[in-house]
Each structure stands twice: as C-alpha cells, then as structure tokens.
Structure 1
Amino acid sequence: MTDLDTVIVGAGFAGIGAGIRLSRLGEHSFVVLERAEAIGGTWRDNVYPGVACDIPSHLYSFSFAPKHDWSHFFARGSEIQDYLRECAREIDSRLRLGTDVLEMRWLADIERWLVRTSAGDYTCRTLVVAAGRLSEPRMPEIPGLNSFPGAAFHSSRYDHDVRLAGKRVGVVGTGASAVQLVPRVAEQAGSVVLFQRTAPYVVPRDDVEYSARDILNFRNDPEARERLRADLFWAMEAGFAERVATPGYIDALRDRARGHLEAQVSDAALREALTPDYEIGCKRVLLADDFYPALESGAVTITAALERVDGPTAIAANGAAHDLDVLVFATGFESTRPPFARRVFGRDGLSLDEAWRDGMVAYASTTVHGFPNLFVIDGPNASLGHNSAIVMIEAQIDYLLGALHDEIDVLEVSADAQAAYVADLDARAASTVWLGGGCESWYVDERSRRLTLLWPDFAYAFRDRLSEFDRAAYL
C-alpha cells in the first residue's frame, strides 16, 4: 500500500496536464495511473487512416507547454500523440503505465481514498479522475453481428493488420471519425458501403501546411505565437452564438455547410441523401474537404443505418443487402454514462454511477456532492461544441490547484450549491440547438434528456467561472 497526497487516473491531456502543473508547483507526492502501456488517451487509441484534430493546432495544446513546429493548421493524430509524449517526459517518474484502476473508494474513517489497481493499492487525500469522455468505444447492438465471418472493429481500435485491397468494406456511422476515414479507406478498398443513420453537416476544412518560414517565426517570436492562440480562441468563440441560434450567425454557418454540399455534390439524389433534417449545430459540425468527393466518385455507396447482419451480408434499414469482407464501426463512445463511474464509491458506499442515474452532475463541472476530495476533469458539462477542449481542461486544473492550495483536509461540495449550479446550466441549455435542434446526439443524456456533456455558454465564461476556488460552496 502506497500513501500519497494525490492520485490522478488517466494519462491523456487532462491527466498529463494536471501532473505537469502539480510538478511545477513543487508537488512530488502524486502519481498518474494509466491502464494502457502508453500515454495519450484519445490520440493513442485513435490511429485510423486520416485521423486528425478539428481544432487549430496552436489552440489544441497546453498554454504552459507551447509547440512552435506544428506541421499543419490542424494537427494529425500522430503529431498530437508525439506532443503529449514530449510533455509527459516532465513527469516521467510519476507515471504508472499498465495500471488498471479497479476501484476507488472513500474511506470516511481515515478521510482518504483507497485506489485499488492491477499493480497494487494506493491511499490518497485527493483523487483526480481524468479518464476522459472518449475512452470507451460504443458498439451498437446489431442482431447477427456475431455471425459475420470477416474482420469487424471499432474505429478507435483500428486493425491495421487487416488488408483492405480489393475488399468490400462497410463503414457504420457518419460522425467525425467516419468523415476522416472513409476517403482513406476508399483509396485502399475494392468498394465501400457507408451506413448512415443521420446525415451530418459538413463545412470546408481549409487546412494549410505551415512553411519552414512559418515555423521559424513561431520559434523566434513566442509573443506572435501567443497572439495567434488568442486570436484563434476569440474567433472560435463566435461559434457559441451559432449554438444559441443567434440570427445571422447560425444562418451564415448553415449557408456555409449547404454551399459546401452543393459545390461538391452534383448528383441531386446523393445531395438529398446527404442533406440533414435538423438544425445545424444540434450535432457536431464536421470539417472535411474530401468526404463528399469520395461519395460522389462512386467508390462509396451510401445507404441507410445498419439494421442486422446475416453471415457476410449486412442489411440496412431500407432493406438493401450488401455482402462485405470488413466492417468498421465509427459509432462514437460511451460519453453520457462513463464506465469509470461504476468504479468510484463515495460516502456510504454510493457509486458515482448511481449518483448520476439521472445524468451526470457536478459543481463547477468538477466536484460532486457525496464524493469528498474527488475532482473530475473533462466530465459533466465540461466539454465544448465550438472551441478547444484544452481551454476547459486548463480551467479545471486551475480550479483543482486552487482547492489544494486551500489545504482543507476534507472538501465536499454542498448539495445546495451543486443543485443551484446544475439548475443554472439547465436553464442556459434550454435555448441551445443541442436541445431544440431536432436531433439525437451524444451530448444529451439518453434517460434524463438533459445536456450533460457540453458547457452551454462561451468558453471564456467557463474559464472565468473556475478562475478562483470558491470555498463557500463546500461543507
């Protein structure tokens, strides 16, 4: 049994960032536990063809660990993973890889968390769960899938050993991963069938490669690099005005998406199949310059949602049957019901999963009543639909450090403070397209119908809200 001040669970952006900030403050009594044999989280797991970020590189990185030599405006997945590896070197001695966290339980008699793992147990005053919202792939329950004789895998578990040349490949889903991988798969496979439940809105990606001169300027002029980051942040903040359907803003975004579709798809029937029937922004707005051309080229056949599988034959909801050799599921993640919540037990043995039975809730999107000294990063209402997740993660880390600086043995947010915070978020969410846009999305809890993933306001408002630890909200 090892006793520490802080245990951090997860070594993606949130866990690595929290560890670096603790280390720079001179804290050494902490570890970062990671179940995999490498750090990186989302960017370690997602290695499908074409994987890249849809937030600008200089904004999708730590403000306290800037990188001057990003190769593109939108970084490729492998480049982000390399960046995280470089950042993690700063806390290499604190990392515990290959360590699966089995249970996290609050021990009221000693006011410590017991963290049981596959590689030994820990006790700690403060538990930071940074497991993320894109860590557990969501596989739909498809009747007959077990009868499929070919390779079948999720995009976040992409099997590069499966050779696609000449193969008949089915891709299930039309979200962010699908629009990136479909064009690349189509280049390799003999044929591709895309199973679409709902058409996405797609806008131009407009990516650019940074020149050697650009990179040199970023290296030699850190202030220019910081100005670029600030400019990118404030430019993306306009995206929230689109999500509350502000006239002019949402109209311009909708027109941009429709214009992109019309410019790239000449076939009227195909264009109709690719036209969404809900308001823009209700689901994630996707960035791609090559998705529509791949569909128009004839290399990809688009059909309805996958309904069932009978041996090598995949049957869509419209009755169309397709014989396939490979199935790739680009079907997202378990986001509103995070599996880690089933392993966390607070006061009186209550699990976090049970506490969240009506949807995830937290005060300051970070702390939960009934779970003393627990901080959840990138959890309830801490994600964004219009700006960089790293901004949100850094704000939560600042809030965590403020709480630790307070040096109170036990911190537990009051039920009243949490309820008031959640009620305020629900009121803000009511006017957004995420709840009123006429779609089903992974942002909304499927049972309570509450918006539990996204922060329903500008990113700067979240940053301001968490800029100081508010001791009065705690017992």
Structure 2
Amino acid sequence: MSTVVKPLDVAVIGAGFAGIGIALRLRQRGVSDFAILERDTRVGGTWRDNTYPGAACDIPSRLYSYSFAPNPDWSKTYSGSGEILDYIENMVDSYGIRPFIRFGQNVTGLEFDEAEGLWSITIEGRDKQLRARTVIVASGPLSNASFPAIPGIDDFAGKKVHSARWDHDYDYAGKKVSVVGTGASAVQIVPEMVKTAASVKVHQRTPGWVLPRVNRETSGLAKKLYQRFPVTQSLARGAWFWGHETVALGVVWESPLTRVVERVAKLHLRAQVRDPWLRRQLTPDFRAGCKRLLMSSDYYPALQADNCQLNNWPIVKIVPEGILTAEGVVHRADCIVFATGFEVSKSGAPIPITGRGGRTLDDEWSRGSYAFKSVAVAGYPNLFFTFGPNSGPGHNSALVYMEAQIEYIAEAIGLLLRRDLRTLEVDKQRQDAYNVEMQRRLASTTWNSGCSSWYLTEDGFNATMYPGFGTQFVRQLDELDLDDYVVTARVVTEIGDINRMPAFG
C-alpha cells in the first residue's frame, strides 16, 4: 500500500544568506511546514565557497547583515569571509532553522502541475519528486564558479585554482603563480599571494576604479554598547546606509559626484603608485560605477612588490607551461589562479523551470531575464525569487535589497496560506509595464553607458541592476498589492475574501 506524501507548504532552494533569511521570517510568521533544499553539506552559500586568502566583504559589516538579526560582535568594519559564515551559522542555530535544512539535495528542475496547483521538484539522485505549494529560488546569482572560456585551459600541466573553489592543501610557497582577473576577488587575493609565492604575475584585461578601504577594529566598548543598547547599533547601521545611498548619485548616474568618486580613486592611485607608466596601466577608461567599484588599500602596494608583475597583453591561450599572451610570450606558471567570478544567470533560468501551459523559463529568459519587482514571473504561480532580475545594487548593501524581497515574499506566502489560495500569479500586463519602465530608467545609468561588464548580456540587455536608490527598491516592496496578481482560490469560505480578490481562474 503506497503512502501519499503531503506536499510541503514551502520549499526553499539554497541555504545561503537568502534561504536562511526567508526561513527565519517564515518561522517568525508561524509557518513551519517548509524545507530548505541545499546541495552542499553546509550552509553559507557564497561565504561557504569563497575561502580564498584575504576573502572579505567590501560592504561594512553593520550593513551586510539583516536588521532583524543584528550582530553586535563584528570584529572589524569589514568582516572576513569566516566571520560572515559564522554569522550565518549563528542565525541557523539561534533561530532554530537547522531542523528544516535538507543537505545534499541538489535541485535539478521545477515543474508546475496545473491540475493540482503544486510544484514538482526534481532532486538529483532521487527517483521520486518532492511536491510543494510554493517554491522560493534562493540559490543566488553568485553560486556557480565560472572558469573563463580560454582556449587550451584544459591543457595546462600545473595547478588550476578558482577563487570560489580554493585549494587549501596546495602549497603556494615558492611557486610561480599567475592570477587571471583584476576584479573584486583578485584585489583581495593578490596581496596575500605576494606574501608566499616566489613570483606573482597578474593578467589584467581591464583596470577598475579602486577606492581606499579603512578597516578598523571594533573596540570592546563599542561592542558592549551595541549589546546593551541595540538602538545604537541600529543608528550605526542607518548611518552607513545613508552614507552609501549618497554614493548612488555618483555611480548609478553620471553627475558632478561621479567626478568626485573618480578624483578620490585617482588620488588613491597617485598616492600609492609612483611610476607614471604603471599608473596609466591602472587607470580605467570608463566612468566610475559602470563596473563594480573595488575597495582596497593594499592591492596597489602588492602590484609593486619585488615578486609581482602586472601584464596587460591579452591572453591568447593557455599552454601546458603557462599563459601565452598576444605579444608572443609564454608566461610560465606552476599555478594559475582564476579570479574570474561566477556564471551569473542574465539570460536563461538558473535551473530548468516549467510553468503553466508547459512554458519554460529558460526560453522566456533566453534574451535576458526579467521579473515583476525582481521576485515573481507571470506564468509561474506560487514561485518566488530572491536576488532576482534587476535587484542588484551598485552602491549599497545587497542585504538591504534582499531583506526587502524576503519581507515581500514572506507576506505573499503568508497570504496564500492564510486564505488557502490555490495560486498567486503576477499579472502579465503589470509585469510588462514594470519591466518597460525598468529598461527606460536603466538607459540613463552608468551601467548602460557603453562599457562591457557582467551586468549586461552580450547584446547589452541589463537584467542585473536596479536603476535607483536602495530606498526606492525597498519602498516598491513595502506592500503586496493584490491588484498586481491573478488569484485562484482552493477553498473559499468567506464572501469578504471573494470581494478582495481581483480575479479567479
């Protein structure tokens, strides 16, 4: 006799910052029939995977945390990856989330069953699908390490290491190390590599705007103050938030403040790099903000170390001995470190997702991803995304944006469960109007001003960034308006409920 397994109310994909945050808020709302499906054996997402030397956040710790789960014990202004991972682990245990996590569950597909109004979830290695009334895709955009498509990458005879899959067992001491990339992870890795490697060669494609980073220790007195008077920590968080908000005027849009940001970066470069030719090589030819701003006070000194060299020639291919560049030189290496980022899903779905009527999100997002307010897509009822399309900040903390999404999604799921709704699906006309407005606003931002970045698809569609202030992003998610949705009821018990619902299937 077969046993019918009751569907979950909520399935959350991913146990990183977003997945743990949404689980915490669901618990606080009294929702207990949910599971977090995590492909790894530990929580943490990006901060579990990025353990390279020097790994740290470039947003102040007070701001790179949830307001509903404050931490008074941050050791520094900018915390290292280990301390951030500890913060996530502490949330899991302090708020009783661990029993809801199912490790080793790699979700490989989602399919909506219209007859049942349920999502079927395919998990690698399992014959039977899991079912859930609602699904939250909280796997994040920075979850799959991306090796660059360089010819011959598999021919290299030495050691290959990706920044997001660091090999701590390999001995870098005395080795010739080549670093490919000069982005956010590279500016943290290079200063550490020059301390141990015999030589470090940094292969740069495009220099970035680098601002100084002052990383102060948090005093014991400050920690005690934050513990005893939580309002002081809220005030400190608010101060950091508004400070970063003002930066939007210089990096989201081109303005006189853009010149100020560039001037600060150039003064920083001039103060740390004496050689005019090296300064020229390290000066960007695009507006500040067009690509991600970099924060470091030790990257430029590391590049000038006796055992370090910057190489600007384009990489032609990788050969068994090392890296062949366009001037015809083979740069020999024992180890190549790829600080080349992640496979960001700007077009196509992160996993195969089949919605109403057999439509697939991979097809619909083939020319660039889109959503309604970054969290929901028409044709995919009861499915929500954290850090979805056009939710990226260029000037403030991603956690501020993520927290707003979490609150909105928790409200939507709470409403669906309270009213015992069958489906909650965003209205396509509302979604289309929203995205037309998004792209109109993005056209005037620095991201769309002509430089090439991972924010854009190959044909220039910006599916990544939000064209405004953090306050604007948060405000649009402050309240869930049912007029934005098409609702179908599973059980309707009150006439009042019917009157409040905009549509029924």
Quickly name the TM-score band, shorter chain normalised: over 0.9
Q: CA deviation at 1:67?
A: 0.4
Q: CA deviation at 1:54?
A: 0.5
Moved more, 315-324 or 357-366: 315-324
Moved more, 215-224 or 46-55: 215-224
Q: CA deviation at 1:107?
A: 0.6
Task: Provide the residue aligned with 1:101 in structure 2.
Answer: 107
Structure 1 position 454 matched with structure 2 position 431: no
Q: Partners of 1:77 and 1:317 in 2: how far apart?
A: 36
Q: CA deviation at 1:306?
A: 2.6
Mapped contact 1:306–1:317 kept (Cα < 8 A)? yes
**Secondary structure of residue in 2 paired with 1:22:** helix
**Secondary structure of residue in 2 paired with 1:328:** strand
Structure 1 position 227 matched with structure 2 position 235: yes
Q: CA deviation at 1:142?
A: 1.4
**Secondary structure of residue in 1 paired with 2:426:** coil
Q: CA deviation at 1:406?
A: 2.6
Mapped contact 1:100–1:117 kept (Cα < 8 A)? yes
Structure 1 position 174 matched with structure 2 position 182: yes
Structure 1 position 465 matched with structure 2 position 476: yes
**Secondary structure of residue in 2 paired with 1:396:** helix
Task: Provide the residue aligned with 2:411 in structure 1.
Answer: 402
Task: Provide the residue aligned with 2:435 in structure 1.
Answer: 422
Task: Provide the residue aligned with 1:431 in structure 2.
Answer: 444
Mapped contact 1:131–1:340 kept (Cα < 8 A)? no
Alignment counterpart, residue 293 of structure 2, candidates 282, 285, 300: 285
Counterparts of 1:295-444 in structure 2 under 5 Å?
295-304=303-312, 305-337=314-346, 341-407=350-416, 408-436=421-449, 438-444=450-456
Moved more, 175-184 or 300-309: 300-309
Q: CA deviation at 1:339?
A: 7.2
Mapped contact 2:36–2:101 kept (Cα < 8 A)? yes
Q: Which amino acid aligns with 2:222?
A: D
Alignment counterpart, residue 40 of structure 1, candidates 44, 48, 54: 44
Counterparts of 1:183-198 in structure 2 under 5 Å?
183-198=191-206
Task: Provide the residue aligned with 2:275 in structure 1.
Answer: 267
Alignment counterpart, residue 210 of structure 2, candidates 202, 210, 223: 202
Structure 1 position 237 matched with structure 2 position 245: yes
Unaligned segments of structure 2, at least 5 residues: 487-505
**Secondary structure of residue in 2 paired with 1:411:** strand
Q: CA deviation at 1:227?
A: 0.5
Cα deviation 1:393-420 (Å, max 9, x = unaligned):
1111111122123323211112211111
Q: Partners of 1:339 and 1:333 in 2: how far apart?
A: 15
Q: Partners of 2:58 and 2:212 in 1: how far apart?
A: 11
Mapped contact 2:226–2:232 kept (Cα < 8 A)? yes
Cα deviation 1:45-103 (Å, max 9, x = unaligned):
00000000011101100111100000000011000000001101221110111111121
Alignment counterpart, residue 68 of structure 2, candidates 64, 76, 81: 64
Q: CA deviation at 1:446?
A: 2.0
Cα deviation 1:342-396 (Å, max 9, x = unaligned):
4211122222121101101000111001111110111101121110111111111
Identity of aligned residues (%): 41
- TM norm structure 2: 0.91
Structure 1 residues 236 and 141: CA distance shift in structure 2, 3 A? same
Q: Which amino acid aligns with 2:60?
A: P
Q: CA deviation at 1:121?
A: 2.9
Mapped contact 2:347–2:457 kept (Cα < 8 A)? no
**Secondary structure of residue in 1 paired with 2:164:** helix
Task: Provide the residue aligned with 1:215 in structure 2.
Answer: 223
Task: Provide the residue aligned with 1:133 in structure 2.
Answer: 141
Alignment counterpart, residue 116 of structure 2, candidates 106, 110, 117: 110
Q: CA deviation at 1:299?
A: 2.1
Mapped contact 1:46–1:156 kept (Cα < 8 A)? yes
Mapped contact 2:348–2:369 kept (Cα < 8 A)? no
Q: CA deviation at 1:231?
A: 1.0
Q: Partners of 2:474 and 2:361 in 1: how far apart?
A: 25
Q: Partners of 2:220 and 2:369 in 1: how far apart?
A: 46
Q: Partners of 2:473 and 2:253 in 1: how far apart?
A: 20
Q: Partners of 2:329 and 2:469 in 1: how far apart?
A: 44
Structure 1 position 151 matched with structure 2 position 159: yes
Cα deviation 1:11-45 (Å, max 9, x = unaligned):
11110000000011111110011000000000000
Q: CA deviation at 1:2?
A: 5.1
Q: CA deviation at 1:458?
A: 0.3
